[in-house]
Amino acid sequence: LFFVLGLPQQVLFFVMFPMVLAVAFVNMLVTGAVYFPAKRYLTVKGVLSDEEAVVSDHSDYVLIPSQDGQVSIEHLTYQYGRSSKKALDDVTLNINRGDFLIITGPSGCGKTTLSMALSGGIPHFYGGKMSGMVFIDGNAITQTSIADLSLHVGMVLADYDTQLVTMTVGEEVAFAMENRGYDAETIQRRTKEVLTQVHLDGLENRSIQDMSGGQRQRLAIASVLATEPSLLILDEPTSSLDPEGTEELYAIIGKLNRENKVTVVVIDDNLSASIPYANRMAVLVDGKLAYEGAVEEAMDYMYDMNTYPEALPALYTMQRRLKEKGINLGKVLKTPEEVVAALQNKEATCSN
């Protein structure tokens, strides 16, 4: 500038140089202020990968559950990879061997997410951010592969059709057993057994395509049962069933629970069919465990706190309304038969 344009050196030092510095300074401020919000925004939108997500390696740790149930869920908090909201928020729950637990709550409250954490889908498949821990049979899910978990946990998805992978009923039930190296004789025996358990006996050669929704659902359950899981999880199993199908399904699951000592976790918003078989209920709201306890107390909580009351069985709501009018039928009645008996009993006492 000095030699070619003949500008005096004062212009260079006292005008241009300070201007360059000023621009650099403003640049520093603006970049600093915009960088982090922009990075966060683009990560949430999925444009940038979530570099901060760290896959924890727990292999060197000794992780011990602090509750003694078959399943111990401890302060479980979970966020899907691209979501800014917690799908589960500090959930602590102990599931004992032999329990029949209902998990209920409004749509989007995290029921399916919780069931995925019980089968290892979270964190092994979905990734995301998880804190807290789930222990199955004393083993931390982060230290157990999905393959090992599947030896203990049988899961029937809400979208059970995606679980069916073969052409015929017999093949479908045999499939999981073949994968686990069962011998031919055992496969044949177990196939017969589980098909009888779900009332599909004799249908080995039936094409899956020709079956009704309810039958396919029971088939999905049979193929899960074939490998004798000690924990059976069903996500909204009755969403596509009519009332008779629903009742039949719960009768089957209830029997498995009672007679075969299978621990059952059912996610359902149709409580009337499942409560006669359940001993415990958990109510999830916005990813948090709002209540957990005996079925009767959980229903009282839902009614009293107006938490998802639309899921309560009509029979239960009726008893509460009667009670408010001064007619107390005693303990919570779960089936129409129990109500009839209680009313007759009441009539007898009244006439006495």
Under the criterion CB under 6 A, does residue 110 sit at the interface with ligand ADP?
Answer: yes
- 88: exposed, middle or buried (Cβ count in 10 Å: 0-12, 13-18, 19+): buried
Size of the site for Mg ion (CB under 5 A): 2
Under the criterion CB under 6 A, does residue 121 sit at the interface with ligand ADP?
Answer: no
Strands 288-294 and 280-285: antiparallel
Which does residue 65 touch among Mg ion, ligand ADP, none (CB within 5 to 8 A, set by kind)? none
Residue 209 CA to residue 138 CA, distance in Å, equals 40
Interface region with Mg ion, contact rule CB under 5 A, candidates 110-118, 166-174, 196-204, 210-218: 110-118
Tokens of 158: 């809400």
Under the criterion CB under 6 A, does residue 84 sit at the interface with ligand ADP?
Answer: no
Interface region with ligand ADP, contact rule CB under 6 A, candidates 61-69, 108-116, 170-178, 241-249: 108-116
Q: How far is CA 81 from the centre of its chain?
A: 17
Q: How far is the CB of 266 from ligand ADP (least distance, A)?
A: 13
Q: List Cβ neighbours of 63 (8 Å cut-off, separation of 6 or more).
A: 133, 135, 140, 142, 143
Under the criterion CB under 6 A, does residue 111 sit at the interface with ligand ADP?
Answer: yes
Give yes or no for a contact between 220 and 244, defined as CB atoms under 8 angstroms apart.
no
Under the criterion CB under 6 A, does residue 18 sit at the interface with ligand ADP?
Answer: no
Q: How far is CA 226 from the centre of its chain?
A: 22
Q: How far is the CB of 214 from Mg ion (least distance, A)?
A: 19
Residue whose beta carbon is closest to Mg ion:
112
- Which residues, numbered 40-59, are part of the site for ligand ADP (CB under 6 A)? none
Residues near ligand ADP (CB under 6 A) are 80, 83, 85, 87, 105, 107-113
Residues that bind Mg ion (CB under 5 A): 111-112
